[in-house]
Amino acid sequence: MRVLLDTQVWLWMWGEPERLRNEARTIVDPATELHVSAVSAWEIATKFNAGRLRLPNSAEAWLSDPTTSPGRDGASDQLRARDPRGEPASTPS
């Protein structure tokens, strides 16, 4: 199964997994392909730069490696960034 994550779900998955509903927690399964839109990277960077999002380091560093977040749950192997058309997104620079 493929799942496109909402930006907030992606943030909670890495930083505050306890905030996820039980239904959302079930997607963290090796059989599930997790995807995020390139728009999520833009949204995270914009909120971080406006002071409306706290991250353990810069937005660029977090987007490069969200596993640095406290409370991470080890879902990194499932995560694949996608652009809005569903194509693999380029790595944020």
Task: Give, for 2, the enclosing helix (H) or strand (E).
Answer: strand 2-5
Q: Model confidence at 63, in pLDDT bands (50, 70, 90)?
A: confident
Other Cβ atoms less than 10 A from the Cβ of 10: the count is: 22
Domain locations along the chain? 2-82
pLDDT of residue 68: 65
pTM to 2 decimal places: 0.66
**3-state SS class at 61:** helix
Q: Answer with the residue of higher pLDDT: 32 or 42.
A: 42
At 74, is the pLDDT very low, low, confident or very high (cuts 50, 70, 90)? very low
Instruction: Please tell me the distance from the alpha carbon of residue 34 to that of residue 31, in angstroms, as a whole number.
Output: 10
- Tell the burial category of 84 from Cβ atoms under 10 Å away from its Cβ (0-12, 13-18, 19+): exposed
Locate 3 and state its tokens: 């799942």
pLDDT of residue 20: 84
Question: Is residue 58 very low, low, confident or very high in pLDDT (cuts 50, 70, 90)?
Answer: confident
Secondary-structure class of domain 2-82 per CATH: alpha beta
